[in-house]
Amino acid sequence: MSNLTFLPRVAVTTDLKSIGGHPTYAVTQKYVDPLLPLSGVLPWLLPSMGAELPLDAVLGDVDGLVFTGSPSNIEPHHYGQALSNPESPADPARDATTLPLIRAALARGIPVLGICRGFQEINVALGGSLLQEVHNTEGFDDHREDDMLDVAGQYGPAHRVQAVPGGMLASIVGVDSWEVNSLHGQGIQTLAPDLLAQAHAPDGLVEAYTYQPARRTDAGFVLAVQWHPEWQAAQNPVSRAIYAAFGNACRQFAARKRGDSLARAA
């Protein structure tokens, strides 16, 4: 982390789930903990309030957003498909929160980091589609975790990814291939038009992308990955590089925002 004189504020998405019979906004601790030491940002937990959430107020107060992973899946009607598995866990309140939030954040150039479900959300929000069951799709491997393993085993290295040569992610991590964990049942079917693949799994599945709209040159920092860089992030050089790059982007965005505010006040 750089210094503590100024900490950019970063909103972290939550799920809406029942805990002890009570509706609860919740996020797994592992998504929050790396942000302060590795990115140098102050995390704020964002409730999944759907249409009740005032997007302009939220985005006016933050310098970055993290769209987290989750056990739930995006409801497929958001990308024009019928539900293939009635037992697929859903979180419609989160869908109603994150999909419009993503579009609004990208329009403002706010730095964004997407992880697992967050990776899938950004794709869907921008017009892409998902494979609802990668393991049942011809030509693709089973990317789910092994339920017979403990948590540490499930988050252990599962396969390599190959970075797109010359891409932003390859530049950030400084290598062209590395091992990742794999704990997802769904994946990219069609990449949204404004997204650019940055890494692939051995079976060709998109594992990372950036946002590069043809109509804009100031899109800002957007990076999303299908794996879980937050797991033991401090011990993983690729994860450390990703979190550092995100934190730098948040600081730069915050500095520009403060500069604009000072200029308007002068």
Helix (H/G/I), strand (E/B), else coil: 35 = helix
Q: Is 207 a catalytic residue?
A: no
Q: Which two tokens mark 36?
A: 């302060």
pLDDT at 265 > cutoff 60: no
Strand ranges, E, within 47-168: 64-67, 112-115, 129-131, 159-163
* Distance in angstroms (rounded) separating the CA atoms of residues 31 and 259: 30
DSSP line for 172-191: HHS-SEEEE----S-EEEE-
pLDDT at 264: 59
With beta carbons less than 8 A apart as the criterion, state whether 203 and 140 touch.
yes
pLDDT at 105: 97
pLDDT tens digits for range 103-126:
999 999 999 999 999 999 999 999
Which residue in the list 145, 184, 230, 250 is annotated as catalytic?
230
Instruction: Give the CA count within 13 Å in the CB-facing half-sphere of 253.
Output: 30
Nearest by Cα to 179 from 195, 162, 191, 164: 162
pLDDT tens digits for range 4-25:
568 999 999 999 999 999 999 9
Helix (H/G/I), strand (E/B), else coil: 130 = strand
Cβ contacts of 22 within 8 Å, gap of 6 or more:
none
pLDDT at 2: 45
pLDDT tens digits for range 181-211:
999 999 999 999 999 999 999 999 999 999 9
Q: Is 230 a catalytic residue?
A: yes
Averaged pLDDT score across all residues of the chain: 95
Which residue in the list 143, 207, 228, 250 is annotated as catalytic?
228
Which residue in the list 116, 121, 143, 184 is annotated as catalytic?
116
Q: Is 22 a catalytic residue?
A: no
pLDDT at 63 > cutoff 90: yes
With beta carbons less than 8 A apart as the criterion, state whether 134 and 185 touch.
yes
pLDDT tens digits for range 37-50:
999 999 999 999 99
With beta carbons less than 8 A apart as the criterion, state whether 9 and 41 touch.
yes
